Structure 1
Amino acid sequence: MSQLFTVPIRVECPPGACGCNRELLLNDPDSDRRVLLLTRQEEKKLLLRIEAISNYAELLYLRQRMHEQLGIVLNITPGDNEVRTVRGLSITLADQPGLCKKTRQSVPAAVRKCLERNPQITYAILDAHGLFGISEPQE
């Protein structure tokens, strides 16, 4: 008695509301479809998990797991201008077919909430990019 188990995938966005190119992803047999595993319900869980992060190591771990399990690349870098607040950081998801417009907005927003509640994580991000590094005095 073998049963066929299917994994739920993200429901299609209304026409014209999103430019996720879901159809291209589904029509290409060689494409990486892992991103479609992020259903709306799973996205809500992910957002809650992101907002609950309490240190830089957790953020890095979750970022790695998002990439491994869903193929999503989360980029967090200091902005081009001076970083005075969390708003000065550039938090983006790399463009990829199947990644919903709402997800590209909600994940960075959840990361910002997390960073606003935990400024030490922001400092660790800045330090990781060498902004707090002490340079050697020039003679």
Structure 2
Amino acid sequence: MNAPFPIRKECPPGACVCNRQALLSDPQADIRILKLTREEESRLLARLETLSSLADLKKMESRLHEQLGIVLTITPSIHEVRTLRGISIQLQEQPGLCRKTKQAIPAAIRRSLEKSPDIAYAILDAHGLWDGT
């Protein structure tokens, strides 16, 4: 299949379970995720590490979904949140999404939250941290 845009190179055999070939062979498949080449992934991770506010994070979350089909979910734990590890950052399973990318995006967001803790507080506040006080 020839895509109208450059696509990500195949991962080494056994290193990933992204089902890239199955995605490319299905004419009805959403191949937007394959736009995320290694160079583009580096740019994305750098951008995610420099988030400045919750609005900026929400904008990036929206753009990830629009441009690549990536569904990002960020929620605080139902238990007490004492550290940034208590904030769950997950990417929905998706054919074509590389295992390393699935780990790198949440890690970049966590680094951004460490640099700007006010974003983490805004996430907690948006999920009702200070309700009832």
The CA RMSD over aligned residues, in Å, is 1.3
In structure 2, the partner of 1:106 is 104
The equivalences for 1:115-126 within 5 A come to 115-126=113-124
Q: In 2, Cα distance between the equivalents of 1:6 and 1:95? A: 24
Rg larger for: 1
> 1:75 aligned to 2:73?
yes
* Count of paired positions: 131
The equivalences for 1:1-139 within 5 A come to 6-134=4-132
Q: In 2, Cα distance between the equivalents of 1:10 and 1:58? A: 26
Q: In 2, Cα distance between the equivalents of 1:16 and 1:79? A: 33
In the superposition, the TM-score normalised over structure 1's length comes to 0.90
> What do the CA deviations read for 1:73-126 (whole angstroms, capped 9, x no partner)?
111111243211111111111110000000000000000000011111001111
In the superposition, the TM-score normalised over structure 2's length comes to 0.94
SS of 2:89's equivalent?
A: strand
SS of 1:115's equivalent?
A: helix
Q: In 2, Cα distance between the equivalents of 1:47 and 1:98? A: 18
Query: Any stretches of 5+ residues in structure 1 without a counterpart?
Result: none
Change (3 A) 1:32 1:6: closer
- Offset at 1:133? 1.4
Q: In 1, Cα distance between the equivalents of 2:55 and 2:125? A: 13
- Offset at 1:132? 1.9
Q: In 2, Cα distance between the equivalents of 1:92 and 1:62? A: 14
After TM superposition, where is structure 1 displaced by more than 3 Å over at least 4 residues in a row? none
SS of 1:102's equivalent?
A: helix
